[in-house]
Structure 1
Amino acid sequence: MSTHAQEWVFADLAQGERAHLTRVRIACHPEALVIGMPEGDQVTWRWDDVRRLRDQADRRAMVLSRKGDPLTRLYLTDASVQGYVTRHAKYMGRRHSGTRLSKVAVWAGGAVASVAVIIFLLVPLMAAQLAEILPPEGEKALGDTTFEQIRTALSETAFEDRLNICDDPAGNAAMQSMYTRLNPEADLPYDVQIHILDHPMVNAFALPGGRIVFFRGLLEEAENPDEVAAVLAHEIGHVVHRDPTRDALRSAGSLGVLGLLFGDFAGGTITLFLANQLINASYSQAAEARADDYAHGLLEKANISPVALGTFFQRLHEEHGDAEGIVAHFASHPQMADRISAAQAAVDPDRSYDTILDAQAWRSLQTACGGAKDATETTEEFSKKAWPATD
């Protein structure tokens, strides 16, 4: 074929907005490919703008598109026309550059930034608002469901489907006596329920709806009941300020967004992550400091030395390092030294503090799950372990 204009031949055109093919005429010229439409109009494709689409099912047809219009397809079956096009469309092998990688990167960055704004700004804001207006029965139902999920997730044997709640009457009476002695006066729309779970983890946490959970491991690690009372007072502070509810809503919202992004529409993993999040609750520094201040006030009012709050965690961290449970949780906060100092500063050096339980009640509490820890010291020996006033 010469380089001069070619006679009209037939081809098929798909124009993107319609699925069916339109029969058109084409003519090849040295400067461009001309398409004759059925209505009589002509469309000109410059050779520099012609692109070839490969990997088509019909190998006999040459499928062309035009730069800037990737949805339009021109199907050529005439071998002579195919040869002419091959010789003149020198950029035919280039890919469409309709969307530059830089633009894709900008869009991707914008999408990531949008998700980050939702998760780290909008979700916490909404969680804070919802925590204030959530009906008490809804908050309690959330806590009840999460508590059972935690018991199921931490079940250690094939013979139990849920982790056991320690139901020793004397041990639970000692815990209740401790709560009564602290006597929080917060006007909560539900009763505070305290549970001891039979698990070696050294931890305690609060759940929405007024549930506070202690693990057996924490009771066994404590050297005296004032350490447990300090942890209890701290968790009561979280309940009073609705931190567990706010954290649960924030976690559920964030995980819900991620679930939608990654296909977990049923929310199966959301429940599991939510349970784990509440066990290892990592509240903001402001929330932790606020719960600490609340605990200092409760302990002082009950004539228990506030220094117990800081010393217990400090001793556990020195003994166990960055272990799991409450040690890791407390150590994960960069202001650990400040919190210990704050507990020491809350002590009245001129005051003589009591201990919150007598030796018998303390022994009952430590063995509430049937533990065998030796707690046989006399009341006199036990009272010597009361926290001294510190400067």
Structure 2
Amino acid sequence: MSRGFDGFGSAYFDGDRPVGEEVSLHLANHNLQIGLDDGNTLFWPVKDIRLLPDLAGKKGYVLRLATDPLARLYLTDRSLLTFLPTPRGKIPARGRRRLLAWAVAAVVAVALQIAVLVPLLADRLAAFIPPSGERALGAATLDQIRRVLDDTGLDPLSYCENPAGVAALTRMTNALNQGKDRLENLSVHVLDHPMANGFALPGGYVVLFRGLIDQAESPDQIAAVLAHEMGHVWTRDPTRHALRSAGSIGVLGLVFGDFAGGAAVLFLTERLISARYSQQAETDADTLGYTRLGAANVSPAVMGDMFDLLRDTAGDTNQLLAHFLSHPTLSQRIDAARAAVDASRSYTPILDDTSWAALQKICD
């Protein structure tokens, strides 16, 4: 079969120059013959010709050669399409299977990076961060959290700094932060926000929200949350979690494009506020919390009491419960807290009534 086609308005681009040249087209012996201005002829096997999406406008279309990644042929005579084996640029079945296999492999690779490689590297890297660097990371993260949680968009979320309330919080912190597990750079802050939550950040920062203090029935329940978060600080869980979250954002950015703007800040903030640590990390933090409560002569059972209170008043979706809700189950952890009580001891409240009243007004 031999057939000529209208080459008027058609152009060949060799991929080396941005300028195309007009061509003549002829189909013969299963080859598309492309006549160039210099008298040379290119032979494109019909079986290797592929149709590209229309990049040049509705009046024309673009062809490429499967064996040449650069050359392009722009045409206006659409009758040629009827002689091509894949006129719509369809991918052969074998190609579709190969493409699907590559897509699955890519998804698996990303999942392995986020679930295995990033946590492994984060755990290794955390050991090499100096205290000053860890402190700077915590301070920067706390500043970002204050900005993200501000409803006005004008100023960072305020610290609660009523002098009497701060003094009461300091007494509570000092009572819990003693003995061989004392944290040298511990900084405890209360933010003026209705969220009933508390969390730890790298570098010794522990943050409580006003909503947590408003919901607590006793200072011992606040002490229980504070003691648990201090346990996370001692084991450097927040540093590893921050590095894992940042690494995950980096991987997602490579996959989905620029992920370094406001969405990344919101994602990282949410991950740090509602951090869910591993079973072992939660168990260790609970155990260290019991020790700190015991050193302050506070019953470890108050940790279970606080969980019970939040579950009864806000249900299982409470943000603080979501923060603590990990393996082992919440009921198991409540039982463990009550089992840690020393029946031979006589426990006392961590704050007197005057100090507790002052702490409740720390945001006034």
1-side partners of 2:143 and 2:81: how far apart? 70
Q: Quick one: distance in 2 between partners of 1:201 and 1:74?
A: 62
3-state SS of 1:353 partner: coil
- Separation in structure 1 between the aligned mates of residue 264 and residue 74 of structure 2, nearest angstrom: 50
Equivalent residue number for residue 281 of structure 1: 275
Shift of residue 235 of structure 1? 0.8
| CA spacing shift, 1:290–1:347, aligned 2, 3 Å | same
Task: Tell me if 1:304 matches 2:288.
Answer: no
Partner of 1:342: 336
CA apart distance, 1:150: 2.1
Task: Describe the shift of the 1:257–1:186 C-alpha distance in structure 2 as closer, same or farther (beyond 3 A).
Answer: farther
TM-score normalised by structure 2 residue count: 0.81
Partner of 1:251 in structure 2? 245
Q: Is 270-279 or 11-20 further displaced after alignment?
A: 11-20
- Contact 2:197 / 2:209 at 8 angstroms: preserved in 1? yes
Residue matched to 1:383: none
Give the distance between the partners of 1:56 and 1:92, measured in 2 at CA.
Answer: 18
- Cα shift at 1:336: 0.8
Per-residue deviation, 1:43 = 7.1
Distance 1:92 1:196, change over 3 A: closer
- Deviation string for 1:85-112 (max 9, x for gaps)? 788x373735253782222222222222
Deviation at 1:41, TM superposition (A): 9.5
Q: Does 1:113 align with 2:108?
A: yes
Look up the equivalent residue of 1:124 and give its one-letter code: P
Distance 1:360 1:37, change over 3 A: closer
The structure 2 residue matched to 1:154, chosen from 146, 149, 156, is 149
Equivalent pairs: percent with the same residue?
46
| In 2: Cα distance, 1:290 partner to 1:176 partner | 24
| Distance in 2 between residues matched to 1:61 and 1:152, nearest whole Å | 52
Change (3 A) 1:189 1:102: same
The question of whether the paired residues in 1 share the 8 Å contact of 2:300 and 2:340 is answered with: yes
How many residue pairs are counted as aligned between the two chains?
Answer: 360
Q: What secondary structure does 1:297 align onto?
A: helix
Considering only CA atoms, is the larger Rg found in Structure 1 or Structure 2? 1
Flag structure 2 segments of 5+ consecutive residues without an equivalent. Answer: none
CA RMSD across the alignment: 3.9
**CA displacement at 1:134 relative to structure 2:** 0.9
From the superposition, tell whether residues 359 and 110 of structure 1 become closer, same or farther in structure 2 (CA, over 3 Å). Answer: same
How high is the TM-score relative to the length of structure 1?
Answer: 0.76
| Aligned match for 2:356, one of 351, 362, 367 | 362
Match of 2:161 in 1: 167
| CA shift in 2, pair 1:186/1:19, >3 Å | farther
**Deviation string for 1:218-274 (max 9, x for gaps)?**
222222222121111101101101111111111122123223433336433323322
Task: State the partner residue of 2:206.
Answer: 212
Task: Supply the AA of the counterpart residue of 1:206.
Answer: A
Structure 2: distance between partners of 1:58 and 1:274: 43
Q: For 1:325 and 1:62, locate their aligned partners in 2 and report how far apart those are by CA, in whole Å.
A: 56
CA distance in 1: counterparts of 2:166 and 2:61, whole angstroms: 82
Of 13-22 and 173-182, deviating more is 13-22
Partner residue of 1:123 out of 115, 118, 131: 118
Question: What are the residue-to-residue correspondences of 1:309-388 with 2, within 5 Å?
Answer: 309-331=303-325, 335-370=329-364
What residue is the counterpart of 2:133 in the other structure?
138
Q: Deviations over 1:319-343 (max 9, x none)?
A: 2213442133334656111111211
Q: Kindly tell me: are residues 125 and 224 of structure 1, through their superposed partners in 2, closer, same or farther at Cα, counting changes over 3 Å? A: same
Which amino acid in 1 is paired with 2:329?
Answer: Q
Task: Please say which of residues 28-37 and 136-145 is displaced more in the overlay.
Answer: 28-37
1:33 positional shift:
5.7
Aligned residue identity for 1:136: P
Asked whether the 8 Å contact 2:202–2:238 carries over to 1, the reply is yes
**Residue equivalent to 1:377:** none
Q: How many Å separate the matches in 1 of 2:239 and 2:122?
A: 8
Q: Which amino acid aligns with 1:318?
A: D
- Match 2:172 to one of 178, 189, 194: 178
Q: CA deviation at 1:295?
A: 0.8
| SS at 2:282 equivalent | helix
Structure 2 CA distance for aligned equivalents of residues 115 and 92 of structure 1: 33
In structure 2, relative to structure 1, the CA distance for the partners of 1:323 and 1:12 (3 Å cut) is: closer
Shift of 1:209: 1.1
- For residues 59 and 295 of structure 1, the distance between their equivalents in structure 2, rounded to whole angstroms, comes to 69
